[in-house]
Chains A and B, each alone.
Chain A
Amino acid sequence: MSDVVERTLTALPSLLSSDPSPGRPSSTSKLGTLIRGITELTSKHDEEKLIQRELVSIKEQVSSPNTTMRQMKELMVRAVYCEMLGYEASFSYIHAIKLAQQGTALDKRVGYLAVSLFLNESHELLLLLVNTVLKDLQSTNLIEVCMALTVVGQVFPKDMIPAILPMVEEKLNHPKEIIRRKAVLALYKFYLIAPNQVQHIHSKFRKALCDKDPGVMSASLHIYLEMVTEKPESYKDLVVSFVTILKQVVGGKLPIDFNYHSVPAPWLQIQLLRILSLLGKNDRSTSEMMYEVLDESLRRAEMNHNITYAILFECVKTIYTIHPKAELLEKAAKCIGNFVLSPKINLKYLGLKALTYVVQQDADLALQHQMTIIECLDHSDLIIKRETLELLFRITNGQNVKVIVEKLLEFLRHSKDDYVTIDLGGKVTELAEKYPSEMISSSLWCMNE
C-alpha cells in the first residue's frame, strides 16, 4: 500500500507542473483553430474552401482505424460545427453512432449529442442506435442511463418503441428522481409519436402525478396536458388533484429551490392552468371547483415581473374559457386593462391578444379601451398594428366596417410579407361578404389589389 502511495506522490509534482489536462487543450485548440480561422476570413468563398478542406481531413481521420475515441470525439465536435454552419457532413453520422456505442463518459456524451443533432426520427441509421441505448439503459452507471434516456426523449424511431418500452417503464420506479423524470419525459415523447403503444400504462402516469418529487410530477403534467386535450371527459376525476397541487404550489409549499425570482414554480403553474382550463370548459360543476384557486393565483401574481405577467395572462385565459363567474371575470378584465395600457410593448401585445380572445364574450371591454386601440393602429411596430387589426376585425359591425376595411387595405398595401397579405386579404373578403352594401366601393379597391 505504501509503495503505491509513494508512486502516486512522486507522480504528483510532474502532473501539477505539466498542463493539468492534456486532453482538453488539444481538442479545444483544434476546434479553436478552426473557428478562429473562419472568423478571420472575410468572403463566403474562402470560408467554403476552408470548411471543405476541414471536412476532407475529418473524413480521412474518421475512416482510419487508428483514431482513438478521444480523437473521434473531437472530430465529431468539429463535424457538428461544420453542419451547423450549413455544410454537409453526412459521412460522420455513422461514426457518431459508433462513438456513442464504444466511448465512455464524455465521449459517449458527445456521441449521443452528435446523434441527436445530426439525425432526425425517420433516418435509417437510427436503428443502429437502438442496441446502444438498450445497453446503456441497463448499465449500473447512472450517468449512462441518463444519457440514454435523454436521447430516447429526443430522437427515437417509432417502430422500435416496443423494444425499448419495458425498460423505460421499469425506470419509472427507480429510486433516483432524475431517472424517473427522464423516463416520464421519454414516455411523453412516445405518446406524441405513437399514442397507441402507451395506452396500457396510464396507471403508471397517475403514479408519476402523485410522485413526491415535484420534478417528476411536473414532467407527468406534459403527458396529462396532451391526454386532456384529446379527451377531457376521462380525466374529470383528476380535477381535484390538479386543484390541490396548484393550491400547494401557489401557497409556496414547494422547496425553495423551485422558485424562479421568488415566484414558485411558474412553469408548473402554467401547465396546471392550461389543464384546468381544458377540463373546466363548458362544465359548470368542474369549473366551480377551480374558482377559489384561480382567485388565489390572480392575487398572488400581483408583483411586477415578467414571469408574473405570464401567469396572469394564463389565468385570464383560463377564466374566460371555463364556465363564467362574475367576480373573476371582473378581476380578469382589470388585468387585461392593465396590460393594454402598459407602456411595455410586450405587454401591450399580449393585452391586445387577450382582448381578441375575450371580445366574443365581452364586447364592452374592447369599447372601454378604444382610445388605446386607436393609438395602437398607428404604432411603429408592425406586429402591434397587425394585432390591432385582428382585434378590429372581430368587433366589426354595420357602422364601423367601412373604416376598418380601409385600414386593413392600407396595411395590405404596405406589407411585403406574403403570408400576411393572404391572411388579411381573406379577412377583407370575409367582411365584404357579410356587409355587402357598405362595401361596394371598398370591394372595388379589393379587386385592384
Chain B
Amino acid sequence: MRFMLLFSRQGKLRLQKWYVPLGDQEKRRLGRELVQTILGRKAKMCSFLEWRDLKVVYKRYASLYFCCAIEEQDNELITLEVIHRYVELLDKYFGSVCELDIIFNFEKAYFILDEFLLGGEAQETSKKSVLKAIEQADQLQENIDFQMRLFPVAGRHSQKASSELVSQSELVSQSELVSQSELCLPVLVLVLNQGLDGVLVPNMASESSGLFQN
C-alpha cells in the first residue's frame, strides 16, 4: 500500500499514513487533490478509482471516508476488506466507534493501524491478537500511572520494576499475574490493581466515548 487517508465529508483530514517517502509539500498536494476527487463522486459509483498513476480504493462509513492508494498489482477487493477490517478493529477497541472517537483519540487510531498494517502490508493476524497487543500496552501504561499516583517519590524505580514484571510474566492475563506476586511493593500495587480492575482499566476506553458522546 502506498498511503491511507481518512477524511470527513467536509474534506478535513482525520488521519494520514504514508508508506512511501514523499516530500511534505507533495504529500499535502496529493492529499488535497485526491480528497477533492473523491468527494466529487456520487454515492452509487464504483469504489475503485484510477487516479493519475495510482489505483485508489475508497469507502464511506457514516461521515468518514477511508481511502487507500495501492500498487499496480494489488487486488482492489482485498483492499476494501483491509479497510473494513480496520473499521472493525476500531469498533471493537472504542466500542461502537464514531468519528469523534477518532478525532479526539487519533493517536490510538494510529497505534491500531500500525499494529495491523506494517510497512503497508496487512499482517494476517487475528483480530484478537491485534487488540490484545494494544490492550497490553495500555495496561502497562495504566500500571505505571497507578504507581506514580500512589508513590510519586518511588516513581522511576517502581516503573522499571513493574515493567520488568510485566515482561517476565510475558504479557499474560491478569489472573496469572496475581498468582506470581511476591512480597514486594510494586507487586502489591499490581495486586490491588486487580481488585480495582473494574474501576480503573475500562475507563480508558469508555472515557473517550463517555466524554464525547454525540
What residues on B are CB-neighbors of A270 within 8 Å? Answer: 75, 78
Q: A143 to B52, alpha carbons, bound, how many Å?
A: 40
Residues of chain A in range 5-36 having any CB-CB distance to chain B below 8 Å = 5, 8, 11-12, 15-16, 20-24, 28, 31-32, 35
Task: Say which residue of A8, A143, A350 sits within 8 Å of B140 (CB atoms).
Answer: A143
Chain B hits for A96, CB < 8 A? none
Q: In the complex the two chains form, what is the Cα distance from A12 to B164 in whole Å?
A: 25
Contact between A349 and B46 (Cβ–Cβ < 8 Å)? Answer: yes
Given A141-B166, A185-B118, is A268 in contact with B81 using a C-beta cutoff of 8 Å? no
Closest to B168 in A: A140
Residues of chain A in range 339-385 having any CB-CB distance to chain B below 8 Å: 345-346, 348-350, 380-381, 383-384
The count of chain A contact residues (Cβ–Cβ below 8 Å) is 83
Q: How far is A125 from B101 in the complex, measured between Cα atoms in Å? A: 32
Q: Is the interface of A mostly helix, strand, loop or mixed?
A: helix
Distance between Cα atoms of A402 and B196 in the complex (Å): 78
A residues less than 8 Å from B163 (CB atoms): 104-105, 141, 143
Is A260 part of the contact surface with B, judged by Cβ < 8 Å? yes
Do B125 and A215 touch across chains, with their CB atoms under 8 A apart?
yes
Instruction: Tell me the nearest residue of chain B to A384, going by C-beta.
Output: B46
* A148 to B138 Cα, complex, angstroms: 16
Most interface-central of A154, A381, A419 (chain B CB within 10 A): A154
Q: Which of A99-153 contact B (CB under 8 A)?
A: 104-106, 109-110, 113, 116-117, 120-122, 140-143, 146, 150, 153
Cα distance A238–B208 in the bound complex, in angstroms: 49
Interface string of A260-304 (1 = CB under 8 A from B): 100001111010001000000000000000000000000000000
Query: Is A1 positioned at the interface, with any CB of B under 8 Å from its CB?
Result: yes
A188 at the interface (CB under 8 A from B): yes
Cβ of B69 to closest chain A Cβ, rounded Å: 14
Interface string of A53-84 (1 = CB under 8 A from B): 00000000000000000000000010011001
Q: Given A141-B163, A142-B167, A142-B170, A215–B104 Cβ distance below 8 Å?
A: no
Most buried by B among A21, A215, A255: A21
Q: What is the CB-to-nearest-CB distance from B145 to chain A, in angstroms, rounded to a whole number?
A: 6
Q: Is B16 an interface residue (CB 8 A)?
A: yes
Q: Determine whether A386 belongs to the interface, using a CB cutoff of 8 Å to chain B.
A: yes
A267 touches B78 (CB 8 A): yes
Which of A160-168, A198-206, A309-317, A327-335 lies at the interface with chain B?
A309-317
With A and B bound together, what is the CA distance between A139 and B81 in angstroms? Answer: 36
A218 at the interface (CB under 8 A from B): yes
- Chain B residues contacting A77 (CB-CB under 8 Å) are 107
User: For the complex, what is the distance from the CA of A88 to the CA of B27, rounded to whole Å?
Assistant: 13
The stretch among A176-184, A239-247, A433-441 that forms the contact with chain B is A176-184
Check B46 against A345 for contact (C-beta < 8 Å): yes
B136 on interface, CB distance cutoff 8 Å = yes
Contacts of A121 in B (CB 8 A): 21
Q: Which one of B21, B124, B171 contacts A120 once the chains associate, using CB atoms below 8 Å?
A: B21
What 1/0 flags go to B117-139 for Cβ under 8 Å of A?
01101111111110001001110
Distance of B169 from chain A, by nearest CB (Å): 10
Assess the A153–B118 pair: CB atoms within 8 A. yes
| A1, B164: Cα distance in complex, Å | 22
CB <8 Å contact, B122 and A267: yes
Interface residues of B in 51-82 (CB under 8 A from A): 51-53, 73, 75-78, 80-82
**Please, how many angstroms separate the alpha-carbon atoms of A214 and B126 in the complex?**
10
Check A307/B50 contact, CB under 8 A, given A109-B111, A267-B122: no
Q: A189 within 8 Å of B by Cβ?
A: yes
Question: What residue in chain A is nearest B13 (Cβ atoms)?
Answer: A84
B123 pairs with A181, CB closer than 8 A:
yes
Say if the beta carbon of A86 comes within 8 Å of chain B. Answer: yes
| In contact, A113 and B111 (Cβ under 8 angstroms) | yes
Contacts of A189 in B (CB 8 A): 119
- Do B124 and A185 touch (CB < 8 A)? no
Map CB proximity to B onto A202-220 as digits: 1 under 8 Å, 0 otherwise: 0000000000001100110
- Cα–Cα, bound, A409→B153 (Å): 77
The 9 closest A-B pairs by CB, nearest first: A310-B77, A257-B126, A218-B124, A106-B141, A120-B21, A310-B78, A185-B118, A141-B167, A267-B124
Contact surface of B with A, Cβ cutoff 8 Å: 12-19, 21-24, 28, 44-53, 73, 75-78, 80-82, 84-85, 103-107, 110-111, 114-115, 118-119, 121-129, 133, 136-138, 140-141, 144-145, 149-150, 159, 163-164, 166-168, 170-171, 183, 185, 188-189, 192, 196, 199-200, 203-204, 207-208, 211-212
Other A-B contacts than A270-B78, A381-B44, 5 sampled, CB-CB below 8 A, are A21-B145, A150-B118, A215-B123, A257-B128, A419-B51
